[in-house]
Amino acid sequence: MAEVLLFHHVLGQTEGFHAFADELRAAGHVVHTPDLFDGATFPTVEAGIRFAGQTGFDVLGERGVRAAEGLPDGLVHAGISFGVMAAQRLAQTRPGARGAVLLESCLPASEFGAWPSGVPVQVHGMSEDPFFAGEGDIDAARALVAEAEDGELFVYPGDQHLFTDRSLPSCDAAAAALVTERVLAFLARLE
C-alpha cells in the first residue's frame, strides 16, 4: 500500500477527480485529497485560471505545502494539471518523498532545485495538448525523467487537456484507463 497526496486540477474537485482517487483507494492505497479551492469548482479551464490568479498562485502553492503538514514521510505526491505545481514542489522539497505522479503538466525541475535522488517519477500527457505540449511541459517532462534515477514519461496521442478526468467532455476514456493502469503499477512498485 502506498500513501498518496493527490492535488486536483484547475476545475477543482470534480466527480472525475474523486473517481480517480477512489480507483487508487480501491487498489488498497491511502489517498489524501486536499481542496486547494475551498470547494469552488469551475466549468472551464479559463474560469479556473482566473480564480487561481485572483486568489494568488503563491497563496494556492502555500495551501498545497500546508496540506502535507501532519502527514507522514514516505508520501507519493501526485497532481493533475494545476495540481502538479504543489505535487512537484513537495516531491522536490519535502524530505522523505516516496515518489511523484505528474498528470498533464510538468515544471522544469530547476523551479524547485534538482530532482531528489532516489525519488521515482511518472509523467503523463497528450502529444498535442495545448497546455502540456504547447506550453513546454513536455520538454520539462523529458528533461525531468532524464534527470531522475527512475523516471517514466508516457505521451498519449491526442489534443485534449484534462483527458484523465472521466467527468469532463475532454476525457479520453481509453487513455485515462491506461493512465490509471500505469499509475497503479507505479504505486505497486513503491509498496
Per the DSSP assignment, residues forming a β-bridge with 126 are: 156
- pLDDT at res. 88: 98
3-190 CATH choice from 2.40.128.110, 1.10.357.10, 3.40.50.1820, 2.60.40.1730: 3.40.50.1820
Q: pLDDT, tens digit, for every residue of 61-92?
A: 999 999 999 999 999 999 999 999 999 999 99
- pLDDT at res. 191: 76
Q: What pTM was estimated for this model as a whole?
A: 0.97
- Length of the chain, please? 191
The closest alpha carbon to 157, from 135, 169, 172, 136, belongs to 172
Digit-by-digit pLDDT tens for the chain (191 residues) are: 999 999 999 999 999 999 999 999 999 999 999 999 999 999 999 999 999 999 999 999 999 999 999 999 999 999 999 999 999 999 999 999 999 999 999 999 999 999 999 999 999 999 999 999 999 999 999 999 999 999 999 999 999 999 999 999 999 999 999 999 999 999 999 97
- pLDDT at res. 99: 98
Cell triple for residue 151?
523516471
- pLDDT at res. 77: 98
DSSP E strands in 40-138: the ranges are 75-80, 99-103, 121-126
Could you tell me the residue ranges of all domains in the chain?
3-190
Burial class (CB in 10 A: 0-12, 13-18, 19+), 11: buried
The closest alpha carbon to 144, from 191, 83, 96, 101, belongs to 101
